[in-house]
Structure formats: C-alpha cells, structure tokens
Structure 1
Amino acid sequence: MGERETWMTEEFGASHEGAVEVVLSDGSVPEPVYFDSGSGSAGQRVSQWSVYDGRPRIPRAAALRAVCSCGWKGSEQRLDWEVISGRDLAEAGDGQADACERAWDTHTAAVEASTIPLPDTITMLLEQLEEEIDKLAKTSPIAAVRAARRTEITAEHVGYWAARSTLHDLTPGQAAAALGLTERAARSELARLGRYNPYAG
C-alpha cells in the first residue's frame, strides 16, 4: 500500500483506520502509483485518491469508496469525468471524498455502539475529569501535568486486575469485540494493562 491520507479515532486506533480507496471502471483497485524522486534516491509509492486522474501511465478513478482496516467497505461514490473535465481531481472529487469520510464516521459510530457499554456515572466522571484538568492547565500547567500523571497511575492500578480478570473470563475474540479492537490489538492492550508478556508460554 502506498502513502495516502488516513483517519483514526483515539479509542480504536489502527484497528479501524479509514481511508479513501479508488475503484477503476472494471471494479478493480489500482496498484500504488510510483513517483520517481529524480535525485537518485528511492521514489515514493502513493495511493492517495487524487493522483488517479488518468494522466500518462496512471489509471483513472471511476469511483471512490471508504475502506477500513477491519475489512469494512463503504458504497461507491461515482466520479463524472464529463463534469470534472480538465479540473484538478483533488478539487473536483472533494465532495465524493468527503462523503467517504462521513461513511467511515458512520461505520466507527456503529463499532462504538457494539462495544461493551460504560455506566453513565463512569462516562460523566471521565468527561468531568478531562474538563477539570483542561481548566487547571490554563492556570497552572505544571499542576495539570501532575493531575495527568495521577490519572495514569490510577488507570494502571485499576487496569491491572481488570485486564487479568478479562484474560481469565473472556476469549481474545470476545475481548476484542467488547473493546472494538482487532484480536491482536486487544491482546496487546490487555498485556499492557495486565503487565504480562502476551507471547510467553
């Protein structure tokens, strides 16, 4: 895969990394485009949707669609090249690209809705804590740093036994579904919180 703009949420990270994917007129997905640096060093492989404008040796995009690293794909957003004419694709296809991002937003909202729900009291306390530390940072940044460190320490304490209990009670697949992560990411997160080596034994 070449370089391209991607989207992630803070909670789900690379487990649900979104991007705009190009679809050609035959329904296939093109290979990354290689751009020679011209300086003798290695060139650049690019998959950014806006480069697929049909210039010499580069395929022309027929449609754009949102994709996610979890395997989800959104509906195709067709490109009308008669309307696009000689305009730059990055500008002419901006509406379709925005529609792709909105589709991915809807997808991640569905992922969040499928995760284990948190009690309202916990959600409210977390939001209040964030607000209070933000306010503190305006008057005493160093005190806000201390508060952030104390929050991390608290998370480490409660997360240790929670992760260990989860490891005992749930399969990796069940834990991943509850957290909205891939199994690999869920294993890594539980190992981090539970302070154990996921590859041991």
Structure 2
Amino acid sequence: MGWRRERFESHEGEVGVLLADGSEPGPVYFDIGSGTYVHESTDWWVYTGELRRPTATSMRGRCACGWRAARAFPIDWQRVDPADLTAYDVSGPLQDWEAHMDEVAARAVRLPEDVAGLLKRLYERLDELVDDEPLTVLRAVDRLEAIVGVYGPMAARLVTGIGEAGGGMVRVAEALGMTEEAAGSRLRHYRYLDF
C-alpha cells in the first residue's frame, strides 16, 4: 500500500524508480507456478537487476494521477535489506509527494466554513453515538443518504456540463482533489443515483 492523504485518497503515492538511462521501467512479472495468473509488481525494491529484472539506479516520488517528482535519489543496493525494506530511507520521494499533495489540496474547491463546520460537528457527534446508539446513527445516515440522493445527481449533472464545456475532466478532477478516473467515477455514481 502506498502513501495516502485523508480526503485525497485517489492520489495514492509511492516510490517510483528510474533506470540508468532515465527511463521508468514497466512492471516486473513473477511466474509463481503453472497457473494462468502471473503476479506483477512495480514496488521499487523489485528492480534489483537479479533474475533478469531491470536495475533501478534512482528513486523518486510518483502519484496515481500521473505526477512524477523532478528530483531523483540514488539507490544504494548494498544498503537495502530485503528482510527489512522499511529501513531504507525513502524520505526524499515521500517529501516530494507530500509537496505535490499540498499543491493538489490548494487547487481543490474549498468548502464554505459553515458547511465544513457542520460536517465536522456531525462526524464528531455520530462518532460519540455509534457505540451506544447504533440505531440512531443508522437513522442519521439514512437521512444523509436522502440528502445525497437529492443534491448529488443535481450537482453531478451541472458539473458534467461544466466539464464538457470548459477544460474537461481535468478541471473537474482538480477542483475535487481527485484523479481524473476517480472524479469520473464519482460523477457517474452521483449522476445516476435517482434512477
């Protein structure tokens, strides 16, 4: 599992690697038996050069949205412990991804303070109630779903029109703080809730 930031989950980050020529390698495939399934991985630590795998010479931060960090950090394979991969320092790529996420968050639409406050208080109150009064929480969630059922489709149809007219899904995804794929999926989900 990669790096995630709350409220921006579709922008999952991870360590990416580069080969000596500066290119980014494709996945490494593992044939683990005689079945038809072949496991693949893009985890940074599989690019060791062993067993005909490509050899990564450096690492950088990358994101599910397609973003790649400009900075690259050399990989010292002599210091990588296969038994404890978390001991190897990947803080540089992580810091770059965090900076990317700060930019994503800055471009996302801001909720009005009163709406953000209401949502925060509702979350906190439901959290207080859930253990002792789960039926009350279910009743509240039912009311929330009714609200989503009214306003989700309405907003999704309006946003779909905006996306088609000016900037496409890139603009919508940026405003929602999501990848284009996640934004498209979210719009389709809300758009057809009332059918």
- When normalised by structure 2's length, the TM-score is 0.79
The answer to which of 54-63 and 44-53 deviates more is 54-63
SS in 1 for 2:131: helix
Distance 1:81 1:182, change over 3 A: closer
Q: 2:58 aligns with which of 40, 58, 63?
A: 63
- The number of aligned residues is 188
Alpha-carbon shift at residue 158 of structure 1 (Å): 2.4
SS in 1 for 2:96: helix
SS in 1 for 2:24: coil
CA RMSD of aligned residues (A): 2.8
Alpha-carbon shift at residue 8 of structure 1 (Å): 4.3
Partner of 1:88: 82
For the pair 1:177 / 2:171, whether they are aligned, the reply is no
Q: In the alignment, residue 100 of structure 2 is paired with which amino acid?
A: H
Alpha-carbon shift at residue 53 of structure 1 (Å): 2.3
Q: In the alignment, residue 175 of structure 1 is paired with which amino acid?
A: V
Alpha-carbon shift at residue 123 of structure 1 (Å): 0.9
Q: Is the 8 A contact 1:50 1:90 kept in 2?
A: no
SS in 2 for 1:45: strand
Q: Is the 8 A contact 1:23 1:64 kept in 2?
A: yes
SS in 1 for 2:62: strand
For the pair 1:27 / 2:22, whether they are aligned, the reply is yes
CA distance in 1, matches of 2:176, 2:86: 38
* Identical-pair percentage: 35
Q: 1:52 aligns with which of 36, 39, 47?
A: 47
Q: 2:152 aligns with which of 153, 159, 182?
A: 159
Alpha-carbon shift at residue 71 of structure 1 (Å): 2.1
For the pair 1:76 / 2:67, whether they are aligned, the reply is no
Q: 2:126 aligns with which of 126, 133, 149?
A: 133
CA distance in 1, matches of 2:45, 2:37: 22
The answer to which of 151-160 and 123-132 deviates more is 151-160
CA distance in 1, matches of 2:161, 2:84: 50
Q: Is the 8 A contact 2:3 2:14 kept in 1?
A: yes
Alpha-carbon shift at residue 39 of structure 1 (Å): 4.4
Q: Map 1:4-19; keep pairs closer than 5 Å.
A: 5-9=1-5, 11-14=7-10, 16-19=11-14
CA distance in 2, matches of 1:129, 1:152: 14
CA distance in 1, matches of 2:86, 2:16: 16
- When normalised by structure 1's length, the TM-score is 0.77
Distance 1:147 1:73, change over 3 A: same
Distance 1:130 1:33, change over 3 A: same
CA distance in 2, matches of 1:41, 1:185: 30
Alpha-carbon shift at residue 189 of structure 1 (Å): 2.6
CA distance in 1, matches of 2:35, 2:109: 52
For the pair 1:103 / 2:96, whether they are aligned, the reply is yes
Q: In the alignment, residue 30 of structure 2 is paired with which amino acid?
A: F
